[in-house]
Structure 1
């Protein structure tokens, strides 16, 4: 099936992109560029990881649409061709495609790539907040996703970890321990804490607030059960930030929408920004939605 074949390639290239991120950080030459705006940085790692991911996926799934965060990359170079990998994940291919998604063709797929989610954290050395994100959408809906953590520790060693999921199949690569009943734990931004974000969180009266960098890292907290909601009542995230986490959370029975409860859409021609924020939960979605002031995005 086209979806599972493409996903198996996405898992492999995400892991190889993680090696690029580790190698460049170890070299000490990050090549930092300020793209303008607030906390909008780019490094050599952003560009090289995207080069590897996109050129490889163009070979694996040539009829799919691939959209990456970095827009100043030339894919027709010797360097680009040298990074191409045709490896796939045998773990993914052990699973059958859910019947509901079996009719999806390669040309229906839109692949959203964030080669280095948490660039500010990468530059600051906050490695645990850094992820590689590859989300797959079909007909506007997030249907599969990969989140790779290059610096995930296993028994004291930074071996990396891959989380992946397919809507209707489930999610893999982690252990979920839900937040205790009766507790409200929210995760949100570490560096974009404007009034609309704070007001939305205050209205929910959480027992605990976890502020970290990177949309991928916040999604992982919800996926694993460390937090039961990811709430960001502000523009700021883009489709490549949310598509992978959206698919994995949905594959577990959770929801990701904007702060008004409208689904995030991932058509190839959709505007990239999530202008009306993000709300992701594994439970109590209606509670969180009911607590968001109707005019919160106008503040």
Structure 2
């Protein structure tokens, strides 16, 4: 079934399974206690879990899709990995999805896979593991279309096992999560836990939130929107990158939400684009008025992020 499915479905289906394997690697590194932290920059640590999870993801996907561009946060990866890190299985639910014709005809050259192997590294290193996600985004030309978010430390209520994966293909289908709307009559905003500054705070002040949730990781913040715990994710800063937002944007859109820069424009995710999200991030939960948030953010803040 896998080989007869359209390319986009095969990439998303494979990414669902490999994200789960990367999540196990992340847990194993933490259990082993050897994080081997190096600092890439201010408030930008990298651990052995980041490096190993990316090697697992890139090795698995590049062997199956050698002509598809893959861009990972941790730079070029050595694809010589232990054999049990190479995942070739595919998620059968994804493979059973029916695509519209334009997505059925997508070719290798049209795709770019954006990988954040461990989103929320600062929190992971501090033991705040509930903030951690694995992000694999699939762009078709310039648009974020397919997304996978894996939560390595999500505890399943049925059996207590760890790990949950949700996926979405914009305009087509979603899986792994039952959408919960945020509470009515109040405004809860989620934002950065470790990369705040005066501009970020000024944007939050302008939105007059009833509650602000400061958490790590773009994936975690978008999860809060889908789980009904926040109405919007606001980050008026150039601090995050394309691999932080490709998967969350695709999934959020697939569920009916919106993610743009703070000017209301979508980021480009083709392989040639620059990596920094220089114009900030504004995401709103399904059913929320994205335009209201755009209008409330002061022009002077938008000009700083022009």
Counterparts of 1:31-46 in structure 2 under 5 Å?
31-36=36-41, 38-46=42-50
C-alpha distance in structure 2 between counterparts of 1:74 and 1:17, whole Å: 15
C-alpha distance in structure 1 between counterparts of 2:34 and 2:150, whole Å: 22
Displacement of 1:232 after TM fit?
0.2
C-alpha distance in structure 1 between counterparts of 2:119 and 2:7, whole Å: 26
Deviations 1:123-169 (A, max 9, x none): 00001000000000011000010000000012382421001000111
Name the structure 1 match of 2:58.
Answer: 54
C-alpha distance in structure 2 between counterparts of 1:93 and 1:207, whole Å: 42
C-alpha distance in structure 1 between counterparts of 2:90 and 2:187, whole Å: 39
Q: Is 1:285 aligned to residue 284 of structure 2? A: no
Q: Is 1:94 aligned to residue 99 of structure 2? A: no
Displacement of 1:80 after TM fit?
6.2
C-alpha distance in structure 2 between counterparts of 1:256 and 1:212, whole Å: 18
Q: Is 1:248 aligned to residue 251 of structure 2? A: yes
Choose the corresponding residue for 1:73, options 73, 77, 95.
77
RMSD value, Cα: 1.5
Native 8 Å contact 1:21 1:150 kept in 2 = yes
Q: Is 1:186 aligned to residue 196 of structure 2? A: no
Q: Is 1:209 aligned to residue 223 of structure 2? A: no
Name the structure 2 match of 1:16.
Answer: 21
Choose the corresponding residue for 1:25, options 26, 30, 34.
30
- Closer, same or farther: CA 160–82 of 1 in aligned 2, 3 Å: closer
C-alpha distance in structure 1 between counterparts of 2:173 and 2:280, whole Å: 25
Deviations 1:36-89 (A, max 9, x none): 2x21111111111100100110111112100000015333x3x36663221111
Number of residue pairs the alignment of both structures matches: 296
Native 8 Å contact 2:152 2:163 kept in 1 = yes
What stretches of structure 1 of length at least 5 have no aligned partner?
none
TM-score, reference length from structure 1: 0.95
What stretches of structure 2 of length at least 5 have no aligned partner?
1-5
Native 8 Å contact 1:98 1:168 kept in 2 = no
What SS does the corresponding residue of 1:19 show, helix, strand or coil? helix
Displacement of 1:99 after TM fit?
3.6
What SS does the corresponding residue of 2:299 show, helix, strand or coil? coil
Moved more, 87-96 or 282-291: 87-96
C-alpha distance in structure 2 between counterparts of 1:253 and 1:19, whole Å: 30
